[in-house]
Amino acid sequence: MNRPYVHINVAATADGKIDTFERKGAAISSARDRERVDQLRAEADAVMVGGRTLHDEDPTLTVKSKLLREERLALGRTENPAKVGIASRLDLEPDCNFLTAGSSRIFLFTTSQTEESKLAELRALRAEIYVLGEERVDLTAALRVLKENGINRLMVEGGATLNFELMRLGLVDELTIYVAPMIFGGKNAPTTAAGSGLVRSGALPLKLIESESWDDGGVLLKYHFEKRSNDDNHARTIPGSPG
């Protein structure tokens, strides 16, 4: 396989929202789920986020537990997994968390919409930048680059548009959802997968491999994606909508 194993992890409310309508990164995970997510990060070679998450939430994407970081080092790995950002146009500040928090390799994938001066600025801050496309990042090519750079297990932490595009293109192997016992509502609040959407006949099939009910009231669901042909990966979006 010329890409990493891709695992999307999501925390969502009972009505499927991954944030409120304010889109400020509202807390959804319980304490137990935050520990689980930290373990997933520690096991990953890299953690990926999309443009809105990258710019609006400015995540650190580091392993929080000192013990988990030490375990990575003992295995001859870096203290933190690599950070990966996907954005059609990069507009990161030099002192943002994504670039400065922790010690980790940084990959940024963007398009020709990002100014050359910004690319040069980010490269000077040790970010490895790849321009893959004119309007949208070529995700298949981006995953190929990551694989070539030793990334074998990739954890994806959203947002909704990135999640959907990876799913639509058949680039996801596993989906884990922590369903929290709360409701956000809001027609503009983001869900697990957004993007252009699919017609019913093009719905992406999942296989439930594990489910757990937790004492905190949440439910953990783990799915595998069933394999599809390359033609299926591109032909099922709603007619007239962007790919």
Question: Does domain 5-234 bear CATH number 3.40.50.11030?
Answer: no
Contacts of 203 (CB under 8 A, 6+ apart): none
The two three-digit tokens of residue 164, written as one number: 């959907």
Q: Please list the pLDDT of the chain residue by residue as tens digits (243 residues).
A: 899 999 999 999 999 999 999 988 899 999 999 999 999 999 999 999 999 999 999 999 999 999 999 999 999 999 999 999 999 999 999 999 999 999 899 999 999 999 999 999 999 999 999 999 999 999 999 999 999 999 999 999 989 999 999 999 999 999 999 999 999 999 999 999 998 899 999 999 999 999 999 999 999 999 999 876 554 545 344 333 332
| Contact between 170 and 206 (Cβ < 8 Å) | no
Classify residue 211 as exposed, middle or buried by CB count within 10 Å of its CB (0-12, 13-18, 19+): exposed
In order of 138, 196, 221, 223, the CA distances from 210 in angstroms are 32, 29, 6, 7
CA–CA distance, 170 with 229 (Å, rounded to integer): 9
Nearest-angstrom CA–CA distance, 119 and 129: 7
Residue 203 tokens read as 């719905």
Residue-range domain boundaries for the chain: 5-234
Provide the 3-class DSSP secondary structure of residue 38.
helix
